[in-house]
Structure 1
Amino acid sequence: MKYTQTSLDKLENLLDELEYVVRYERGTFQSGYCILEQKKVVVLNKFLQMEGRINTLMDIIPQLNVNIEFLTPESRKVYDDVIQRQEAADADSNSK
């Protein structure tokens, strides 16, 4: 995934379809983000640059409970891409 505003918008739209609210706030987040699962809110450090925002959202999405049946075809493609990247990263780290 390229580090562009369009890529960030696609990830934010995916979360929107999953009924999560993405907020950019100031705070002391150890990992750069916080997930409020019960309220379906994802809070990212507002000082993250675009690349950091994209990487953080790509880290968050595989952790969420997702019902892929409710996703549009475009969001499903984005979701599948994120999951494939996560699986590849996991496989890569396990082989080391």
Structure 2
Amino acid sequence: MKYTQHTLDKIERILDEMEYVVRYERGNFQSGYCILEARRVVVLNKFLQMEGRINTLIDIIPQLNIDPELLSNEARKTYEDVLAKHAAEEK
């Protein structure tokens, strides 16, 4: 997976289709992000560079309640790629 704006947009599209809001804010985030599950908001540290944003979203997505059946074909493929990359990093 390449660390480009296009890749970031594709990953953010997964969250958008599942009605999560991605916000980039300033703050003291222990891990670089905060998930407000009840409000379906994901807040990332705005000072993260492109690679950090992508890696953080790859870490977040498996934690969320996402139904792949509700995603478009393109978003579903990206979702599967994200899960595979996350699983490879866990090993």
SS in 2 for 1:27: coil
SS at match of 2:24: strand
SS in structure 1 of the partner of residue 39 of structure 2: coil
Aligned to 1:15: 15
Q: Helix, strand or coil: the match of 1:3?
A: coil
The alignment partner of 1:28 has SS state of: coil
Q: Which has the larger radius of gyration?
A: 1
Q: Does 1:72 align with 2:72?
A: yes
**In 2, distance between residues paired with 1:51 and 1:87?**
18
* Structure 1, unpaired ranges of 5+: none
**Superposition pairs of residues 1-96 of structure 1, within 5 angstroms:** 1-90=1-90, 92=91
Gapped regions of structure 2 (runs ≥ 5): none
Report the CA distance between 1:89 and its aligned residue: 2.0
Q: d(CA) in 1 for partners of 2:88 and 2:3?
A: 19
Post-superposition CA distance 1:10-53 (Å, at most 9, x none): 01111100110000000000000000000000000000011110
Query: Percent identical across equivalent pairs?
Result: 69
TM-score computed with the length of structure 2 as normaliser: 0.97
Following TM superposition, the consecutive aligned residue runs of length 4 or more in structure 1 with deviations greater than 2 angstroms are none
